[in-house]
Amino acid sequence: MTSDNLFIGHNRVHLLETDSTNNYARTLLRDKLPIEGTVVTADKQTNGRGQRTNSWVTEPNMNLTCSYILRPAFLAAKDQFLLSAAVALAVFDLVSAEIEEGPVKIKWPNDILVGEKKIAGILIENSLRGSNLDNSIVGIGLNVNQTDFSAEINATSLKQILGSDSEIEVILSELNSKLEKRYLQLRQGQNQAILSQFNQNLFAFEEERMLKVNGDENQFIIRGVRPSGELQLQHQNGTNSLHQHHEIVWNLL
């Protein structure tokens, strides 16, 4: 797999099976001191993880499951959401380039939806050194050729949308390129541009939605995501509040 990238994806560890590519990447960081941009891929992931304590269910050899090792020491710990936003934009860029139908949106904090169905998820695990980030493990799961999903996970795939198989190696190469582009944008300090583009492509941005917030269900207008990563909601009485992702339950079709 050739690439014009500077570093992301140049070093690859491919596994036939692992519990979680994020777990394997963490072991590499502990034992091997891998170069930045190393990507761990797996044909089969037996215990993939998503946000909160959710699992990421994937059929063997059907989807892209990978984890990148990054070293964003230039980023303050208080700004770590910007790394999440940059990664989400990279996956958004990839999915948008692959399909013509949509809409493709980023569901806060970092799922990728086509319509209201999930096609990709991201799990980032950061370690800190002082007031800055040290290492980050960026786990990405993208539904590529799988077509059978349980109803409760409300998912879709490239194959369901396109009607044909995609080459997972080609998809990985494209993801490497798009992730490097967004990561370099972040490294160059283009924080406001990243946050602005994240909000421009945010699912339900400036729309009124029924949400369950801290257990209470009401109508809110989605006013965007702050640099801290908190979602700003406007209440029916006109007041605004900021929320962490574990406080909100979405009602999707």
Helix, strand, coil percent content, the chain, rounded in steps of 5: 30, 35, 40
d(CA 111, CA 203) in angstroms, rounded, equals 10
Q: Which residues pair with 49 in a beta bridge?
A: 55
Domains in the chain, ordered, with CATH? 12-200 (3.30.930.10), 208-250 (2.30.30)
Would you state the pLDDT for residue 121? 96
- SS3 for 71? coil
d(CA 159, CA 223) in angstroms, rounded, equals 33
Mean pLDDT by 10 residues, the chain (253 residues): 81 96 96 95 81 57 96 97 98 96 93 96 97 98 94 91 97 98 98 98 97 95 97 97 95 76
Would you state the pLDDT for residue 4? 83
Structure confidence by residue, pLDDT tens digits, 131-159: 999 999 999 999 999 999 988 889 999 99
